[in-house]
DNA sequence: CAACCTCTTGACCGATTCGGTTATTAGTGC
DNA sequence: GCACTAATAACCGAATCGGTCAAGAGGTTG
């Protein structure tokens, strides 16, 4: 793998993106090294030169994604003491911004949750653990509900927002092009509308 | 294919579900006839006995799904002159009920939209056309907005509900078990909350 | 120019799997 | 026991699988 690290960053990300895309799309067993090599515009032999084996490459990707998520997580933890809607918005924004440069990480991560191949089953925990941590961080807090006209609506609304985020992810999964700014704009408008209708008057700054 | 129609209905649906699941999960090229045969608990030779070739099986599935969607569509068109939220709810309910017996149709249909194999590319239109028709039917109407405290919120709220539905679909895609009633309950509660907060007082019956 | 080194890859390996065929079996009615 | 049918085990050539290796290509030293 030191062979791989010696490459230029551009070449590395091209290869990683190709691998993330193929594994994300086909799953571990159905994705072939040849698929990845073609997508990365290199030879199949080079993939083995860099990573040794298919399994090693997959595990490398798991750890690679883990590091990226850790990076997001830290930044997000900094500004976590705000309003519920602001919190959701900023964390989504950070998440989206990070994935802007790494467009295939999202579908790879979600594919990991469906992976069943015994070859890599033991290794999946590397990523699943990390993604759980990420989700738990932006959980609903107690005093969030107080701002709602009907405090009991806070939980469902939060769930609806998570659901919508999943909907966005599903809608653009596998699409080649993806206008992040437009989607975030859309999401922001939706959040504003929800806030306006659910919050007590006094919390509508 | 007359050979296939001669089977018992139970066996037929077992085979179709296996095929829908495999094609839906792996896509046309990566799904092998062997995968399908194993999932259907029959021999590979039987699959060819029934459908002739891989391509014929795939096209049969496209037409099979088209018929099912047509069935839903007709029923849904009958009671289309109600309140926006009721309309979304009942159409979702009908859709869900139909898919309760055919658990793999949903992921198959969404996989068709991502299919790129030249072998079947021409045939995809069989289904894509039909699913478009289905979506267009439950579109927002003009007088729906009048019931909203802020009429301009109607469009976004409708979009949010579509997004949430996609989120539900994504969340349970590929899951073996899926408690439809719980999900529909959840969805219904969310709709009730939205209506309560977005509608003018006079329309809250 | 020759000798050397690094990186990339075309060609190749045995094994497996592919879509598809066929010959044999197992089951059923008479 | 016999004929007919439906299912499959065994098989086909071709392709692809994960993985290896030796032959270049390109650059750096003498």
Mean per-residue pLDDT of chain B: 86
With beta carbons under 8 A apart, name residues in chain B contacting A198. 197
With CA atoms as reference, report the closest residue to B169 among B108, B86, B89. B108
Across the interface, of B30, B157, B190, the residue whose CB is closest to A156 is B190
What's the confidence (pLDDT) of residue B179? Answer: 78
Q: Is residue A74 within 8 Å of residue A131, measured between CB atoms?
A: no
Cβ pair A162:B164 closer than 8 A: no
Kindly report the length of chain A: 205
Residue A137 has pLDDT above 90, yes or no: no
Q: Which residues pair with A148 in a beta bridge?
A: A199
Residue among A38, A197, A200 with most chain B CBs within 10 A, to mutate: A197
pLDDT bucket at B71, cuts 50 / 70 / 90? confident
Q: Chains A and B: how many Cβ contacts under 8 Å? A: 71
Q: For residues B64 and B76, what is the distance between their CA atoms, to the nearest angstrom?
A: 19
Collect all residues with Cβ–Cβ distance below 8 Å to A171 and sequence separation of at least 6: B163, B166
CA distance A195 to chain B (A): 10
> Picking from A133-142, A157-166, B30-39, which range would have the lowest pLDDT averaged per residue?
A133-142
Which phi-psi region, left, alpha or beta, contains residue B41 (left: φ > 0; alpha: ψ -120 to 50)?
left
pLDDT bucket at A32, cuts 50 / 70 / 90? very high
Say whether residue A196 is in contact with chain B using an 8 A CB cutoff: yes
What's the confidence (pLDDT) of residue A136? Answer: 67
What's the confidence (pLDDT) of residue B124? Answer: 94
Between B4 and B78, whose confidence is greater? B4
Predicted confidence (pLDDT) per residue in B61-70, tens digit: 999 999 988 8
Kindly report the length of chain B: 205
Residue B51 has pLDDT above 80, yes or no: yes
B16, burial (CB in 10 Å: exposed 0-12, middle 13-18, buried 19+): buried
Q: What is the mean pLDDT of residues B183-192?
A: 91
What's the confidence (pLDDT) of residue B100? Answer: 72
Residue B78 has pLDDT above 70, yes or no: no
pLDDT bucket at A73, cuts 50 / 70 / 90? confident
Q: What is the mean pLDDT of residues A38-42?
A: 94
Which tokens belong to A21?
A: 């895309």
With CA atoms as reference, report the closest residue to B66 among B130, B18, B136. B130
pLDDT bucket at A175, cuts 50 / 70 / 90? low
Between B130 and B146, whose confidence is greater? B146
Predicted confidence (pLDDT) per residue in B138-154, tens digit: 667 778 899 999 999 99
What's the confidence (pLDDT) of residue A143? Answer: 83
Say whether residue A49 is in contact with chain B using an 8 A CB cutoff: no
Q: Is residue A64 within 8 Å of residue A46, measured between CB atoms?
A: no
Say whether residue B33 is in contact with chain A using an 8 A CB cutoff: no
pLDDT bucket at B122, cuts 50 / 70 / 90? very high
**Radius of gyration for chain A, computed over Cα atoms and rounded to the nearest angstrom:** 20
DSSP state of A6: T
Which tokens belong to B74?
A: 């007709």
Q: Is residue A75 within 8 Å of residue A33, measured between CB atoms?
A: no
Q: For residues B159 and A10, what is the distance between their CA atoms, to the nearest angstrom?
A: 38
Q: What is the mean pLDDT of residues B82-96?
A: 81
Residue A167: C-alpha distances to residues A127, A183, A187, B167 (Å): 22, 11, 11, 4
Q: What is the pTM of this model?
A: 0.80
**Most confidently predicted of A178-182, B100-104, B187-191:** B187-191
Which tokens belong to A198?
A: 């659910």
What's the confidence (pLDDT) of residue A31? Answer: 96
Say whether residue A197 is in contact with chain B using an 8 A CB cutoff: yes
Q: For residues A133 and A72, what is the distance between their CA atoms, to the nearest angstrom?
A: 12
């Amino acid at each position: 793998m030191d062979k791989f690290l010696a490459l230029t960053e551009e070449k590395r990300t091209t290869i990683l993106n190709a691998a993330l895309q193929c594994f994300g799309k086909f799953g571990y067993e159905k994705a072939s090294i040849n698929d990845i090599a073609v997508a990365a515009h290199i030879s199949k032999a080079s993939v083995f030169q860099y990573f040794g084996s298919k399994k090693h490459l997959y595990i490398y990707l798991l750890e690679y994604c883990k590091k990226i998520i850790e990076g997001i997580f830290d930044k997000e933890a900094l500004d976590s003491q705000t309003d519920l809607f602001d919190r959701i918005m900023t964390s989504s924004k950070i998440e989206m911004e990070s994935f802007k440069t790494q467009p295939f990480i999202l579908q790879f991560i979600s594919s990991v949750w469906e992976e069943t191949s015994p070859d890599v089953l033991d290794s999946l925990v590397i990523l699943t653990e990390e993604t759980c941590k990420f989700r738990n961080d932006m959980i609903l807090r107690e005093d969030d509900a107080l701002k709602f006209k009907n405090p009991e609506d806070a939980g469902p609304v939060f769930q609806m927002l998570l659901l919508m985020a999943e909907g966005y992810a599903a809608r653009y999964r596998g699409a080649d092009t993806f206008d992040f700014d437009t989607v975030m704009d859309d999401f922001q408008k939706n959040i504003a509308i929800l806030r306006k209708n659910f919050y007590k008057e006094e919390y509508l700054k």
